Structure 1
Amino acid sequence: MAAKNELGRHGEQLAADYLRAEGMTIIERNWRCRHGEIDIIAEDGPTLVVVEVKTRSSMSHGTALESVRPAKLARLRALAAKWLAAESRTYATVRIDVIALDRFAGDYSLRHVRGAS
């Protein structure tokens, strides 16, 4: 379990670094409420971006991107609404993104899906 947690933390750090390099501002990481967790909350200009990060080290259960199902995206939309309700900020639009990291033979492959929902 510790190795899985470490893989996930490392994947989230790679994703945050990537988003910053793409010009986004990270507002919060690992925001939690009783309904779930948002891995990364960022701003992309006037857009609030809720980011799900999935990291896989093998193909035994499919790719990282394949693991993000419609139910997860629906939960992220609900969590985004809860986060916004607790904040004083407003945004022109809200977007759900997925960053999928697959690690094979020590190398990471990163795929960023904008507007995944």
Structure 2
Amino acid sequence: MNRRELGQKWEELAEQYLERKGYQILNRNYQIRGGEIDIIAQEGEFLVFIEVRYRSDISYGTPSETVSKKKKAALKKAIKVYIHQNYLYHLQPRVDLIGIERTAKGFLLNHYQNVIDF
């Protein structure tokens, strides 16, 4: 599997997790020039933008530690464009991170809410 296919696999796993938690998936892999949002979902009054990160080895950092300032800035830009294009001003935006780590018994999925301030 190439890197893109692996990314899609982990995004699908994250999407299934979110659906089980009651999130309504609105979009996947939303792209603008200079930015991409892995998953966009609605949870009640929240419009949730989810970044999915996978690490097979955490010696260089956990998934939650790998979101750079540059990536955060790109996410904010893409979020503003998405909200404007879809007229979703009535929903409260929130950025979540789903970190997936390989373990000896399979994998561990962690869901972190509200990881970037607006």
Same fold (TM over 0.5): yes
- Aligned pair count? 116
* Partner in structure 2 of residue 76 of structure 1: 75
Identity over aligned pairs, percent: 37
Over the residues paired in the alignment, what is the CA RMSD in angstroms? 1.6
- Rounded Cα–Cα distance in structure 2 between residues aligned with 1:74 and 1:114: 17
* Partner in structure 1 of residue 46 of structure 2: 47
- 1:13 deviates by 0.7
* Partner in structure 1 of residue 56 of structure 2: 57
* Partner in structure 2 of residue 17 of structure 1: 16
Say which SS state the counterpart of residue 89 (structure 1) adopts: coil
- 1:87 deviates by 1.0
2:100 is the alignment partner of 1:101: yes
- 1:66 deviates by 1.1
Q: Which runs of 5+ in 1 are unaligned?
A: none
CA contact (8 A) 1:48 1:91 kept: no
- 1:79 deviates by 1.1
* Partner in structure 2 of residue 5 of structure 1: 4
Say which SS state the counterpart of residue 18 (structure 1) adopts: helix
Which stretches of structure 1, 4 residues or more, deviate above 4 A after TM superposition?
none
- Rounded Cα–Cα distance in structure 1 between residues aligned with 2:37 and 2:59: 25
- Could you tell which deviates more after superposition, 58-67 or 107-116? 58-67
- Rounded Cα–Cα distance in structure 1 between residues aligned with 2:24 and 2:81: 20
Structure 1 counterpart of 2:72, which letter?
A: L
